[in-house]
Amino acid sequence: MPPSSRLEIVIWDFRVLIEFLKAKCLMNCEVALILEHKHEQLQQMADDPMNQVFEKSLQYVKRFSGYKNPDAVRQFRDFQLDLFSEFLSRYELAEFELCVLGNLCPETLEEAIVMVPSIKKSRS
């Protein structure tokens, strides 16, 4: 049931924020791996054409995936990328912040700070 009073709205927003911070986020490259696997399964099981929403979702995550190789995806998730390994291990990032960096692939620390402003706060 949607919240009705201002207090209920604030409480609702807080609960959503807490759930969001606890949620497991996926980078586009991770979603692409999952959807590609599902796509292969669906092709083997049926002769029916693929759902357009599924196809467009798969095309989108493939297009905007910074990492195409499954090993590279795992390396990024494990903080092994050369550019960010020291940086990511030094600063605690929320799951969604890691996904932002993984999706947008900043090339410099300055770019990363623009994309995830909380990094600048944790550097101070």
| DSSP letters for the chain | ----SHHHHHHHHHHHHHHHHHSPP--HHHHHHHHHHHHHHHHHH--SPPPHHHHHHHHHHHHT-S--SHHHHHHHHTT--TTTHHHHHHS---HHHHHHHHHH--SSHHHHHHH-THHHHHH-
Average pLDDT, the chain: 80
Query: Residue 60 — pLDDT band, cuts 50, 70, 90?
Result: very high
42 pLDDT more than 50: yes
pLDDT value at residue 8: 86
19 or 60, greater pLDDT: 60
User: For the segment 65-82, what is each residue's pLDDT rounded down to a tens digit?
Assistant: 877 888 877 777 765 455
pLDDT value at residue 32: 92
User: Which CATH fold topology does 18-120 show?
Assistant: Growth Hormone; Chain: A; (1.20.1250)
90 pLDDT more than 70: no
pLDDT value at residue 80: 45
In the chain, where the domains are located: 18-120
pLDDT value at residue 87: 58
Mean pLDDT of 44-54: 79
Mean pLDDT of 30-43: 90
* CA 37/CA 31 separation, integer angstroms: 10
**Under a CB-based contact definition with an 8 Å cutoff, are residues 92 and 55 in contact?**
no
User: For the segment 101-122, what is each residue's pLDDT rounded down to a tens digit?
Assistant: 888 888 898 998 999 888 877 6
